[in-house]
Amino acid sequence: MQTSFSTASPADRVLCPVLRERIMTADQAAGLIQSGMTLGMSGFTPAGAPKAVPQALARRIEERNANGGNFRISLWTGASTSPELDGALAKVHGIERRLPYQSDPTVRKEINEGRMQYVDIHLSHVAQHVWFGFLGHLDVAVIEVAGILPDGRLIPSTSVGNNKTWLEQADKIILEVNSAQPAELEGMHDIYYGAAVPPKRKPIPMEHPFDRIGEPYLHCDPSKVIAVVPTAQRDRLAAFTAPDEGSMRIADNIIDFLQHEVKAGRLPPELLPLQSGVGNIANAVLAGLNKGPFDHLNAYTEVLQDGMLDMLESGKLDTASTTSLALSPAAMERFLANIDYYRQRIMLRPQEISNHPELIRRMGLISMNALIEADMYGNVNSTHVMGSSIMNGIGGSGDFARNAYLSIFMTPSTAKDGKISCIVPMVSHVDHTEHDVQVIVTEQGLADLRGLAPVQRARLIIEKCVHPDYKVAMSEYLERALRDAPGKHTPHLLDQAYAWHQRYLKTGSMQA
């Protein structure tokens, strides 16, 4: 079922005659983009982001603005992207409005210095809000693909993200056809074409993470394609750092808890589908599961990292559904070397499916996500530093936490060499409320908050999760609040609730 491509030139991945006629350079393609346009680009992590056109566009913007222009565009993507996309465009101050997620240092700087409007959206909401017309008009889609079939259908790349929606909603399409992406990706994707706008929606016919509900290709109207740009460049992947001791302790705490839940009959022996956020703690948990007591696991997640590849390789994990392959360079080599094995076990899907509340709730995920800070009542801040500055964005954490069978948030108990306590009296921004947070785990221990009232939650979080350096101060705050607050349900002293944050802003440490 694999398409046979010749490899004489990068353009050989374009088998559709009409689209071969649209082949041009990245600079030529970028020349078709005008100031004020909204662009929907591929990319969910650096995986599958376009490699050439964004950089050509950044050059165009820089040149135009150096000559007195004010060339800016709005940028929609799947999630975060790469330095060649977000980084390049932000560096030339070319992005007016950005959604739905980012993790680029230059973009972050633009946002926090007030030069870029950033709309932080649940990743499962993005596609439908575009379909509903809530976010405005999409002018041009810029999508990386691994190849184009003779009839114009597209072999998706290493991420799917919102590409289906961008291709359907944009007036015009620019395709980057990347011959450095393995042609063997063909057949790994599951693009669901049953979506509709209310009142015409139907149940999504998935009951198991590996049920195929769609097609392996993206549809594309050739008449909308204004440029096809051949490229040959791998995804820019981040190296994997070995888990530190704290992360391994967090992983141990989670695995102990899951064993306890299996013993209590609240989880089946093969658990339930795993969702795991990005980052080193998540990878440590996956490494722990890879040595752990559970077999025949499955994953239903938005990002497949090294840890899950290891688990697929070892056989601990039977299958994994994701919208992005965010592997380290070393893991990518292993993936490529055994791609036929992995194609039987990995499915790549649109993010509206990987993050869909209907599916997350139905399949009953075990959801594990990192956080920036939690408070003693179990509210979680996933996005803001000291209440004002964006770090990355909410991403899929809300989709998963709200709808999961078990919603676990994990964090080191402190950051910045102990100068910040990641558990605070009151979070400076709320992304996940007490209603959506069932378990908080640090290297100190794990607080199972299910069925507890706020003050009970606070006592347990202080006992189990807070770093010893902050324990006494937090207990004292709780007792003061129980004594002096205007109510004892969630006692807070509003003149002291942010004292730790204020101290950090003033002195560089939350410690008194």
- The verdict on whether residue 214 carries a ligand-binding annotation is no
Q: Which of residues 113-152 bind a copy of itself (CB under 8 A)?
A: 113-114, 117-122, 125, 129, 132-136
CA distances from 321 to 290, 333, 345 (A): 17, 20, 8
Report residue 218 CA to chain centroid gap.
21
In the bound state with a copy of itself, the residue whose beta carbon lies nearer, of 221 and 484, is 484
In the bound state with a copy of itself, the residue whose beta carbon lies nearer, of 66 and 512, is 512
Q: Which of residues 237-266 bind a copy of itself (CB under 8 A)?
A: 264-266
Q: Which span sits near a copy of itself by CB under 8 A: 87-95, 185-193, 333-341, 397-405?
A: 397-405
CB of 188 to a copy of itself, least distance (A): 23
CB of 273 to a copy of itself, least distance (A): 8
| 3 state DSSP class of 499 | helix
Which of residues 143, 363, 460, 461 is near a copy of itself by CB under 8 A?
363
Options 302, 352, 373, 443, the catalytic residue: 302
Strand boundaries in 301-405, DSSP class E:
317-322, 346-348, 366-370, 373-375, 380-381, 384-385, 389-390
Contact 45, 79 (CB under 8 A): yes
To the query of whether residue 62 is one of the catalytic residues in this protein, the response is no
Site string for a copy of itself, 196-235 (x = CB under 8 A): -xxx-xxxxx-xx---------------------------
In the bound state with a copy of itself, the residue whose beta carbon lies nearer, of 268 and 329, is 268
Strand boundaries in 362-466, DSSP class E:
366-370, 373-375, 380-381, 384-385, 389-390, 406-410, 414-415, 420-421, 423-424, 439-441, 446-448
In the bound state with a copy of itself, the residue whose beta carbon lies nearer, of 62 and 120, is 120
Q: Which of residues 18-47 bind a copy of itself (CB under 8 A)?
A: none
CA atoms within 13 A on the CB side of 209: 30
Q: CB atoms < 10 A from the CB of 384, how many?
A: 18
Q: Which of residues 331-360 bind a copy of itself (CB under 8 A)?
A: 357-358
In the bound state with a copy of itself, the residue whose beta carbon lies nearer, of 218 and 422, is 422
Tell me how far apart the alpha carbons of residues 231 and 55 are, in angstroms, rounded to a whole number. Answer: 12
CB of 475 to a copy of itself, least distance (A): 17
367 forms beta bridges with 275, 407
Strand boundaries in 179-235, DSSP class E:
225-231
Q: Which of residues 401-420 bind a copy of itself (CB under 8 A)?
A: 402-403, 405
Six token digits for residue 342: 């992995």
Known binding positions for CoA: 372, 392, 396, 416
